[in-house]
Structure 1
């Protein structure tokens, strides 16, 4: 090989190395078979996940329509009966949820709304499926995050060590091949192969972005994140091959790295976080809420300090001395005040629980530099609308809607029902049919980019900088000692 002169000559030599590596991969039956199997698995995962999410979305829309119809079909009745009749709301599915299910299989997607009570989300897939669900589901995200790095490692572990063991590396360096051009060609070839392996998943994201303009930006950011992730694995695999003396050593190192960073850390860290930041069970939380609610006051006790003061203020406001003389229904006012107190208590406990979960997530996020897959999952879940923050938003919106709905019915109780003979009265059903329906607003893309995408891309940038520095050092070492 002739001596390299200038940047153009260096690029030409790197391109020759890149094409030679591609030829070697094409001639390897194992490499071709593994790649084809992974491509087929990614394609199947994409199609199955998309069909599953389409069916889930259709089912939830159907159930929401039925719940709305049942609500509207109520006859004329007392508004407080309507408060206890309750209503169901269902969390809609994001168009990108098919790609990454995130926490959705483990969190409920249905809320039952009723007065004086805050219910948790119900009917999660994990609660209704076998324990096998907890080992992960076959989604495009799972394939790219977990299986693609392993295939990349098997394809690239011998990229440099193979030529070292055959004695070709020393001959190439002796003929004037720069170590930087050699590694650049190897890196470029395996980075292209990594992108090819992720192509079905990236194509699915691109297709959803074209068909769903509302999530086009989300899809583009997801494509960027997954592309960066597989390229990082390709670069790391080539550099390990360049640093290892033998191919089997490189393979063992890469498989060990994959086990630790992709399998072990993501599984162990949540348990560590749970031990560091304990959370009360649902039953313990409900007991605490019940005790605090009892301490707030008893509307049925005329001597209760809070409600005695409330009664005094109401009478003073309307300038009367008896609740029977009020121009509004005092019983409805009492229920309205009790709902205000308990709802504030519900929301406070909800935010306290969210804060504990955020503290646990912070412990896991601290290990992103050691395990880039954690950064990718954070980015992917958030953009797919299947992360913890999206679930929390649904819970908060559901509670806010429950409070507005119940208080609107309580206001009907106050203004449309007389105090005397309260329980025997009814009002027209058109009152609750006119109440607004629940509308779920997803987290905006700008917020997701600021909180999740930028930190993940910063992790990838740091890894890329470290790999580039390692490549330059290894290239110099190869030139000095190609053996």
Structure 2
């Protein structure tokens, strides 16, 4: 059944990856062609703008993380700082409610449930069938029996998931970013190996302290529901209530008012412009803007653009700070929930978590600001003493560089998710000690005679 789910997830993953990859390539080619074949004023070209698309790789599709909900398109336009938009879930009610069938969904939710069901009855079934007495009579220690149950069930899961990671490795090696993604895939594999060992230990402990398989199954199911569904929902809601975000309308209004009236409320738009022009006249020792050695329109456009960007960044830092507080809150509470730690670590390694989304936005914003500046400065430096409107053509636009997204380095990702790694390790050590204690006191066999 698990392999059938993997096959279904493989089909969905490959289809989603091929579709997304082809759409991005086609869109990038289309907008690049439109951009290069322009014949217009540089600032008009800045208004015409273009689009940047968040690149997709095979690991993003392995674990889609928040990508389906945060958008994948960044609009470049003069005078306006856009946010990332066009999420997959906007017009997909099924994806919004249940998410897509991915490898990560199976590995994070379904396999742990299967493993818990196996391990939670591993010892109780021996008690109920009477074979536990026979094993003890043959000289086997309680410690050996318990650890045999742990490793037997754990190795079954490893054998089941190994073909999946083997196929993923082949897919990564065939991709364009194999050198970058292969190490990340290895860390994902290590993460799930640790997670399943933790689940095997927890399930065996439940079985060891239970006197009936039905009770053990019920306890295991309650543990899975609380760990995988209830606790993450509660903690996410707590993070949102503890660190509430300002609304998009409030943010946009603050940016506009900051630009119009100044960040301190005492530096209005027209006063700033006059002061800037007077400073230029004084610097070049001329009496009128017509005597300046450049097109004043291009410089004033860029001056206003810089101030609007400063206003956007000023208020966005508050939003970013709130997001970071929420992320720290979730990381700390993830210590108490191995599922939450595993999920966040998997998203980070796949490049589909909040920090990768934030990195794409910042890189896209830097590219956008540099592009607008380049166009405005082209107007300023070359638009002087031109009869009619100054325009540039395909030769100039084709020289402008494409956007290149740089994925966060792996060491930075691991540093950001070190709490999750420590959480998984701490849970495993705690459960190992607890299992050793149960075995040493023979608590698992109190009901051997029942």
| Per-residue deviation, 1:424 | 3.2
Whole-angstrom CA distance in 1 between matches of 2:126 and 2:101: 37
Whole-angstrom CA distance in 2 between matches of 1:132 and 1:461: 33
Whole-angstrom CA distance in 1 between matches of 2:193 and 2:243: 34
- 2:156 equivalent in structure 1: 193
Structure 1 residues 309 and 429: alpha-carbon distance in aligned structure 2, compared to 1, 3 A threshold: same
| Per-residue deviation, 1:168 | 2.9
| Per-residue deviation, 1:132 | 4.4
- The normalised TM-score by structure 2 is 0.93
Deviations 1:2-23, CA, capped at 9 Å, x for gaps: xxxxxxxxxxxxxxxxxxxxxx
Task: Tell me the SS of whatever aligns to 2:52.
Answer: strand
1:160 to 106, 123, 140: 123
Counterpart contact for 1:198–1:230, Cα < 8 Å: no
Counterpart contact for 1:190–1:235, Cα < 8 Å: no
| 1:147 corresponds to 2:113 | no
2:202 to 233, 236, 239: 236
Deviations 1:270-300, CA, capped at 9 Å, x for gaps: 1111111111121221111111111139xxx
- The normalised TM-score by structure 1 is 0.87
- 2:339 equivalent in structure 1: 373
- 1:54 equivalent in structure 2: 18
Whole-angstrom CA distance in 2 between matches of 1:406 and 1:218: 35
- 2:402 equivalent in structure 1: 437
| 1:425 corresponds to 2:368 | no
- 1:176 equivalent in structure 2: 139
Query: Which shows bigger deviation, 432-441 or 344-353?
Result: 344-353
User: Aligned ranges for residues 37-436 of structure 1 at < 5 Å?
Assistant: 37-75=1-39, 77-211=40-174, 212-296=178-262, 304-418=270-384, 424-436=389-401
| Per-residue deviation, 1:303 | 9.5
Structure 1 residues 377 and 241: alpha-carbon distance in aligned structure 2, compared to 1, 3 A threshold: same
Structure 1 residues 397 and 456: alpha-carbon distance in aligned structure 2, compared to 1, 3 A threshold: same
Deviations 1:240-298, CA, capped at 9 Å, x for gaps: 1011111111111110000000111122221111111111121221111111111139x
| Per-residue deviation, 1:428 | 3.9
- 2:432 equivalent in structure 1: 468
Whole-angstrom CA distance in 1 between matches of 2:434 and 2:86: 49
- 1:449 equivalent in structure 2: 414
Task: Tell me the SS of whatever aligns to 1:270.
Answer: helix
Deviations 1:383-439, CA, capped at 9 Å, x for gaps: 111111111111111111111111111101111112787x73334442222111111
Counterpart contact for 1:365–1:375, Cα < 8 Å: yes
Query: Which shows bigger deviation, 371-380 or 203-212?
Result: 203-212
Q: 5+ unaligned residues in a row in structure 1: which ranges?
A: 1-36
Please tell me the root mean square deviation across aligned C-alpha atoms, in Å.
Answer: 2.1
Whole-angstrom CA distance in 2 between matches of 1:302 and 1:465: 61
| Per-residue deviation, 1:104 | 0.7
Query: Which shows bigger deviation, 220-229 or 263-272?
Result: 263-272
Matched residue count = 441
Counterpart contact for 2:239–2:329, Cα < 8 Å: yes
Counterpart contact for 2:262–2:269, Cα < 8 Å: no
Task: Tell me the SS of whatever aligns to 1:128.
Answer: coil
Whole-angstrom CA distance in 2 between matches of 1:424 and 1:175: 98
Whole-angstrom CA distance in 2 between matches of 1:350 and 1:304: 24
Whole-angstrom CA distance in 2 between matches of 1:290 and 1:163: 71
Determine which structure has more spread, i.e. the larger CA radius of gyration: 1
Whole-angstrom CA distance in 2 between matches of 1:352 and 1:170: 65
Deviations 1:195-219, CA, capped at 9 Å, x for gaps: 1332343223332343322211101
Deviations 1:336-373, CA, capped at 9 Å, x for gaps: 10011111222233332222112112222222222111
Structure 1 residues 293 and 252: alpha-carbon distance in aligned structure 2, compared to 1, 3 A threshold: same
Whole-angstrom CA distance in 2 between matches of 1:88 and 1:209: 27
